[in-house]
Structure 1
Amino acid sequence: MKLASVSFTGRGSRLNAAVTELLSRQGYDCAGYAMPRYAEKHGLAALDIPLKEWTGQMFSSVDAILFIGATGIAVRSIAPFLEHKTKDPAVVVMDEKGVFVISLLSGHIGGANELAGTLANLTGAIPVITTATDVNGRFAVDVFAKKNRLYITNMHYAKEISADVLDEKKIGFYSDFPVIGSIPEEIEVWEEQKVFAGTNGICVSLAEDKKPYRQTLNLIPRIISLGVGCKKGTPAEKLEEKVLEALQTCGISMHSIERIASISLKAQEPGLLALADKYHLPLVTYDAEELQRAEGDFSDSAFVRSVTGVDNVCERSAVLASGNGQILLKKTAGDGVTVAAAVRDWSVDFE
């Protein structure tokens, strides 16, 4: 998690320096800021622009913001930049003596609750968490989704499920994947031939159109590696069209893709780079020798071999990128574009 912290007094800046050091040891990417008169003494960056401007910059560049000072300062600073719980960074506030640490914004999806808990454990501060499911010790679908890297297809349905949980109604649960861990008491797992009395249910699947409940919240795991081959100069729009067409044929949501893979010859292909950038996906590439060593039963193309030095690019790159996973989509070709998809081994985790 990339985090920026800011303090406004000498005591607060001393705490700021200590906290950023502790969080760095926990694997956080931390940058600490303080008012210029305190910054150098405590080894922090000087806050040499207005706080509101700094906050705006941080909203678009970090995962979490820690204010060390009064809650009112934090509230006024973040107010102009609030968008949505799926977009806003985590915002946490600590008083300058480190007595309390408050999860202020994006407690679940953004991770503010978790960050507040981490800070409490590191410093001995008292964590202040106000989200209803946490206060009541109940299952939180957005926390569950974040932990399992599941894409939430409908935030309105997610809110209704949270409301049902707080009203002590059962939530249906269906998964195309194995489940590990203890099932929360709020969850009723789908069973064939069994009628579910409730309305809202969760479906974990690669397909967005699977609806086992009257009102289904589809959660999509990001576990698919997409292998792509293309002619030089193929525009991003054509690549996207062919990718979406191919995925639709086997019921795989684009939201399940965690990376795009190809041959190293395509590492700087503008269309591929633009497609990866649009969907915020990494593009990984392999040389012909690496692709040839991939294990599996792959489609063979003499033409592709003559151009690239390997008989198949899309299937082999998808398998390698997925950690030698299973091919779900064999090579589909059209308009100079080839597409394949492989899934890595994965389970739903309730721990």
Structure 2
Amino acid sequence: MNTGSPVLEINEVGPRDGLQIEARMVPTEDKIAFVDALSDCGFARIEVTSFTSPKAIPALADAGAVMQGIRRRPGVIYTALVPNIRGLERALEAGVDEMNLVMSCSETHNRANLRMTRQQSFDELSQVLAAAARAGAPCNVSLSTAFGCPFDGDVQAEQVLDLAARLVDAGANGITLCDTTGMAYPNQVGELCADAARRLPGVALTVHLHNTRGMALANAVTAWQAGITRFDAAAGGLGGCPYAPGASGNVNTEELVHMFECMGVRTGVSLESLLAILRGLPGLVGRELPMALLRAGPRLAAHPPPAWLAERFGPAGDAA
């Protein structure tokens, strides 16, 4: 099997991409506690919140309070979504380490999600990138629908790569290729990731996957084999997209970490600490979550054998 890097970075996006779409309004102090607990798990990055208009995303109206209330762990990069200049100003005031900007590769999704044409979004993001550079703040741009659009269908790879290159020229330090609607499949992911690495040498590339059609982990392996070393994921599979019909949440962080650790790839994330957080997630968001790994346990988790085995065969290890 082709192998990628022996070390990966995981960007936990649950506090932002996960909580923004939940029906339950999570109290500010609970969001802070959630981020603080995640900080102790070993993540390279945590996307804490979004500095969008409170009218647009009321669930994250407390962005400034959350950002300023969290406990900063040395070595963790705390990021936030920034949609425009005003959002950048608020994020800088709150001490965000890295800005995450977003636009779509497909026209219809961009209009539905951002209420702008792609050219309008590009022009606005260019202004944000320039202002962030003047402030010394690094920026990543997440490209939604990079692997397909629920409205426009297939998105051509060259279209994605051209947009990514233009954004890098405008000042983006990193690019995230987003499977916003779970339309990606493994060989498509491998080809686009390999092409992006060739087209954008030296640019930090991240892959953002959804498990809508059950291919997220397979896609992650293929991306890793193609050279990707950074992945977005959400604890418990939190998240979704209001303009992605039928989309499920993000790829489960615990499943991604468990899979790669089983393969001998280091993520730096403590699976035990993460699973402990998952036990409280249903109470945090007010609903059950698809957490199969929490129910089953890690691959080598030992389970007690049926009591009748000892009665019939004696204690384990007594057999000749």
Return the TM-score normalized by structure 1. Answer: 0.26
Structure with the higher strand share, 1 or 2: 1
Q: Which has the larger radius of gyration?
A: 1
Of Structure 1 and Structure 2, which has the larger fraction of its residues in helix? Answer: 2
Q: TM-score, normalized by length of structure 2? A: 0.27
